[in-house]
């Protein structure tokens, strides 16, 4: 059976920001794959006061994983990172023994010194030998200077009536402050348009939140969010693999998928389609996005009503031999087979018409049940959660018996255990079936964990699935008003 099936997602490599307004993304939009050709051997020296210097670790990241890259040598108050092989280009943290950290951008120029006081890290940071880090810490300092003004405006906003003259004036002040921030950043980008710093900071900028009104003149917040989501990736250069070794891409991906996208299968699939199209279905961004979204909504672990619909959509469209070039043919075949099995029982589809042997040995046809709704309950008699949910189901019987038929399917057991479960759990009013060969239900209702509860409507289409028994009544009532 398919119970507790291992999710065969394709292997990820060993394995992300900032807020602000949209900026001109054109500078530095050429291909940059993070090549280490002509890169220096590292000689990175940090002298940070007011922090223990007994040792330090260099921590890097790739896609959504952080990992230890190197450990420091200590000379007096200075921690030193040296080796023959260049470090991969990207964003790093230097962690000290007390847990405090210093951020670094490491590009091909890997000889640099930095001095600072941990008590005022950004304000005191002095960097020599690395334009990326000079610009990075200048940007952090500029932002730090502006934050008190943004906070003061936020405090005033909370005290003002929306639409008042004072409120309009406050919004004008904030727009001017946002423009000041953008101007500061743009001046830094202009100094080094092809730098890691420019690519990283641009990628972290959010699009402008447009003011959109409905036909009646009210603020259309749904349209604002939709436009924001549509332009969320405008400042990201998908040809720049260096960005995959920074926090910005992982952070943007999580926000885009789990916060800005409504958490239902149709919306998630549409958001995934739009994002993956930006990668032209090739390269490391494509590999990362496809794997991450599929893992985020892995059936059995996701709380989305029909996570299988997301899985089927992603696997059938993006994990193909032509597109999933990082994986082997057998893994792809396994994923496609599992997706095909799931595809038979997605929400909104016509439920499979199955006939399974009942307690008397005769076939019990699902479509012979005549009440408006059918609850299909799939269980294993020795499953702990099944034993917990079964009494809740029988407790609902009297309230629902006039409009719901209960079709209970035993899985992966034997006749004696099945019949004992039916008797001890008071399932006798239900239609009880069991096929030891599983042939009667092969490629029908998908089950990743037991118990599994599906609700079928009057036309025998799948109304809901992955239900807890406590959700059954609400699912019926919701369907009636749709």
In tens, the pLDDT along 272-327 reads 999 999 999 999 999 999 999 999 998 877 888 788 899 999 999 999 999 999 99
Per-position DSSP letters for 1-55, written without gaps between them? --TT----PPPPP-------------TT-S-B----TTPPPPEEEEEEESS--S-
Confidence of residue 163 (pLDDT cuts 50, 70, 90): confident
Q: Which residues pair with 246 in a beta bridge?
A: none
pLDDT at 81 over 90: yes
The band of 3, judged by pLDDT with boundaries at 50, 70 and 90, is: very low
**From the CA atom positions of the chain, what is the Rg in Å?**
29
162 band by pLDDT with thresholds 50, 70 and 90: confident
pLDDT of residue 222: 87
Q: How far apart are the first and last CA of the chain?
A: 34
Whole-model pTM over 0.85: no
Distance CA 306, CA 347 (A): 7
Q: Residue 301 has what pLDDT?
A: 79
Query: For position 359, what pLDDT does the model report?
Result: 95
- Burial (CB count within 10 angstroms: exposed 0-12, middle 13-18, buried 19+), residue 362: exposed
User: Comparing 79-88, 438-447, 468-477, which segment has the lowest mean pLDDT?
Assistant: 438-447
| Predicted local distance difference test score (pLDDT) of residue 19 | 34
Residue 24's pLDDT is 36
- Other Cβ atoms less than 10 A from the Cβ of 371: the count is 14
Q: What is the pLDDT of residue 345?
A: 86
Q: What is the mean pLDDT of residues 130-158?
A: 93
CA distance 290 to 314: 7
**Which band of pLDDT confidence, cut at 50, 70 and 90, is reported for residue 33?**
low
102 phi and psi angles, rounded to 5 deg: -120, 135
Q: Are 452 and 378 in contact (CB under 8 A)?
A: yes
pLDDT, the chain, mean: 89
Give the number of other Cβ atoms within 10 Å of residue 361's Cβ. 7
Q: Cα torsion at 396, 398, 401, 407 (round to 10°)?
A: 50
pLDDT digits (tens, 9 = 90+) for 207-229: 988 888 888 878 888 899 889 99
Sorted by sequence, the CB contacts under 8 Å of residue 231 that are 6+ apart come out as 22, 207
Residue 16 clears pLDDT 90, i.e. is over it: no
Residue 29 has pLDDT above 80, yes or no: no
Average pLDDT over residues 355-365: 95
Is pLDDT larger for residue 117 or for residue 1? 117
pLDDT for 13: 31
Non-local (6+) Cβ contacts of 199 within 8 A are 28, 32, 237, 240, 242, 243
- Can you read off the two tokens belonging to residue 255? 């926000």
Q: Convert 432-445 to b/e letters by CB count within 10 Å (16 or more is b).
A: bbbbeeeebbeebb
Residue 92's CB is within 10 A of a number of other CB atoms, namely 25
Residues 6+ apart with CB under 8 A from 295: 7, 9
* Region for residue 39 given its phi and psi (left: phi exceeds 0; alpha: psi -120 to 50; beta: otherwise): beta
In this prediction, residue 31 carries a pLDDT of 47
Band (35; pLDDT cuts 50, 70, 90): confident
Question: What pLDDT is recorded for position 21?
Answer: 35
What pLDDT digit, counting tens, does each position of 381-426 carry?
Answer: 999 999 999 999 999 999 999 999 999 999 999 999 999 999 999 9
Domains of the chain in start order, with CATH, are 7-15+246-346 (no CATH), 17-210 (no CATH), 355-481 (3.40.30.10)
Least confident segment among 167-176, 229-238, 319-328, 469-478: 167-176
CA dist., res. 288 & res. 173, Å (int): 40
β-pairing, 78-82 with 43-49? antiparallel
- Statement: residue 83 has pLDDT above 90: yes
Q: What is the pLDDT of residues 165-211, one digit of tens each?
A: 888 898 899 889 989 999 999 999 999 999 999 999 999 999 988 88
Residue with tokens 């250069």: 237
């Amino acid at each position: 059976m398919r119970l507790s099936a291992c999710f065969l997602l394709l292997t990820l490599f060993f394995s992300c920001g900032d807020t602000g307004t949209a900026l001109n993304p054109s500078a530095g939009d050429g291909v940059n794959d993070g090549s280490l050709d002509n890169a220096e051997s590292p000689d990175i020296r940090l002298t940070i006061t007011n922090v223990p210097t007994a040792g330090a670790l260099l921590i890097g990241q790739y896609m959504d994983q952080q990992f230890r890259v190197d450990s420091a040598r200590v000379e007096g108050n200075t921690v030193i990172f040296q080796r023959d092989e260049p470090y991969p280009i990207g964003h790093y943290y230097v962690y000290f023994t007390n847990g405090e950290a210093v951020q670094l951008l490491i590009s091909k120029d890997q000889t640099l010194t930095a001095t600072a006081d941990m008590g005022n890290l950004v304000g005191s940071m002095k960097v020599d030998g690395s334009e990326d880090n000079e610009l990075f810490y200048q940007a952090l300092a500029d932002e730090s200077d502006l934050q008190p003004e943004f906070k003061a405006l936020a405090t005033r906003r909370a005290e003002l009536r929306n639409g008042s003259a004072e409120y309009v004036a406050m919004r004008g002040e904030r727009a001017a402050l946002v423009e000041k921030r953008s101007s500061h950043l743009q001046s830094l980008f202009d100094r080094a348009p092809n730098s890691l710093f420019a690519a990283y900071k641009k990628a972290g900028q959010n699009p402008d939140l447009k003011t959109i009104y409905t036909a009646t003149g009210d603020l259309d917040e749904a349209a604002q969010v939709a436009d924001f989501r549509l332009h969320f990736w405008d400042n990201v250069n998908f040809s720049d693999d260096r960005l995959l070794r920074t926090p910005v891409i992982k952070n943007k991906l999580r926000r885009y998928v789990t916060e800005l996208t409504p958490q239902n299968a149709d919306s998630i699939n549409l958001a995934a389609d739009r994002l993956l199209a930006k990668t032209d279905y090739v390269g490391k961004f494509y590999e990362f996005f496809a794997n991450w979204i599929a893992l985020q909504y892995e059936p059995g672990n996701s709380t989305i009503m029909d996570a299988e619909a997301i899985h089927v959509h992603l696997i059938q469209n993006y994990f193909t031999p032509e597109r999933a070039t990082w994986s082997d043919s057998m893994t792809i075949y396994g994923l496609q087979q599992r997706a095909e099995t799931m595809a038979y029982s997605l929400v909104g589809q016509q439920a499979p018409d199955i006939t399974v042997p009942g307690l008397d040995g005769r076939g019990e046809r699902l479509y012979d049940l005549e009440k408006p709704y059918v609850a299909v309950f799939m269980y294993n008699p020795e499953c702990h959660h099944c034993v917990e949910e079964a009494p809740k189901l029988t407790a609902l019987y009297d309230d629902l018996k006039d409009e719901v038929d209960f079709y209970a399917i035993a899985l992966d057991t034997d006749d004696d255990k099945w019949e004992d479960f039916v008797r001890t759990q008071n399932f006798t009013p239900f239609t009880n079936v069991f096929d030891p060969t599983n042939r009667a239900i092969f490629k029908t209702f998908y089950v990743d964990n037991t118990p599994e509860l599906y609700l079928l409507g009057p036309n025998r289409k799948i109304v809901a699935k992955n239900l807890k028994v406590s959700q059954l009544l609400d699912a019926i009532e919701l369907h009636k008003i749709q």
